[in-house]
Amino acid sequence: MPLKAIKTPDLGAVPTASDVIANHIRDAIVSGVLEENDPIRQDDVAKLFNVSKIPVREALKRLEAEGLVLFQRNKGAVVTSMSDTELAQIFEIRAMLESNAIRLAVPHMTPETFARAEAICDEFQTESNVGRWAELNWSFHSSLYQDANRPYLMNLIRSVNDRIERYIRLQLTLSHGEKTADLEHRAILDACKAGDGELASRLLSEHIVAAWQSLLASLPKQGR
C-alpha cells in the first residue's frame, strides 16, 4: 500500500501544549477567575497540565503579546491591570475601528447577515448566564463586520476586544446593562437593514462610548 493511501491525522490542526495552556489562562482572565495583578506561577501551571515549564512560558509570552499578562522583575507573570486612562483609549480605538468596519460592511450585507444578527440579539435577550453575555456581545458585533471583507481590520478589532472582554463582562454585570445593550444593538441592526451605513456607524460609536461611560461609573475607584 502506498504511504499516501494511509489515513493519518492532520497534526497541523492539533493544538500544541502551549496553545491549550494559553487558551485556558486566557479564559480564566476574561471570565474574571484570574483578576488584575493576580500572579500566574509557572510551576503551578506546569503541574496542572503535567508538562514542563517550557510550554507554560511559551503560553505566557503569547498572552503577554496580547496584553493580558505582564512579566515583572522578581514576581514573574501577573495578570495585567488597566488604569481608567488606558481603558478610555482602548474604547476610543474600538469606536474608531468598529464604526469604520460597519460602514464598510453595510452595502454588502445580505438577508442572511440580518437573520444571523437578529438571532444573536434574541439569544442575548433571553440569556440568564452572565458568563455568556460578553461572548454573545462579540458575536453580534462581529457578525455585522464580516461583510466588510477586511480580514486584517477584523483581526485588529478582535485583538482589541480580547484585551477588554473581562471589562465588558464586568460592565454588563455591574450596571445591569444587558437591556440597554439589547436596545442599542437592535437600533444598530435596524440602521443596517435600512442600508444607512452612516447612521449605523454613528449609533455603533455612541454605543461603545456609552458602554465605556457605564463601565467607568461601575468600577471601584480605590486604587485606580
Block mean pLDDT (10 aa), the chain, length 224: 53 76 86 86 93 93 87 88 89 96 98 97 85 85 97 94 81 74 95 98 96 81 49
| Residue 39 host element (H or E) | strand 39-40
201 located within any domain: yes
- 75 and 132 in a common domain: no
Domain boundary among 58, 79, 100: 79
8 located within any domain: no
Looking at the 3D structure of the chain, how many domains does it have? 2
> What is the residue range of 72's domain?
15-79
- 211 and 131 in a common domain: yes
CATH of the domain at 180: 1.20.120.530
- 204 and 111 in a common domain: yes
- 102 and 22 in a common domain: no
- 95 and 202 in a common domain: yes
The per-residue pLDDT for 202 is: 98
4 located within any domain: no
| Helices and strands of the chain, counted as H and E runs | 9, 3
The per-residue pLDDT for 200 is: 98
Query: CA-CA distance, 124 to 183, in Å (whole number)?
Result: 11
R_g (Cα) of the chain, nearest Å: 20
The per-residue pLDDT for 103 is: 98
The per-residue pLDDT for 223 is: 46
Residue 21: partners with Cβ closer than 8 Å, 6 or more residues away: 45, 49, 51, 55, 56, 59
- 210 and 119 in a common domain: yes
1 located within any domain: no
- 96 and 41 in a common domain: no
Domain boundary among 32, 61, 79: 79
- 102 and 136 in a common domain: yes
The per-residue pLDDT for 181 is: 87
- 95 and 75 in a common domain: no
The per-residue pLDDT for 125 is: 86
Q: Which three cell numbers mark 103?
A: 460602514
- 130 and 101 in a common domain: yes
Query: CA-CA distance, 87 to 89, in Å (whole number)?
Result: 5
The per-residue pLDDT for 216 is: 85
7 located within any domain: no
Q: Would the pTM of this model clear 0.75, i.e. be above it?
A: no
20 located within any domain: yes
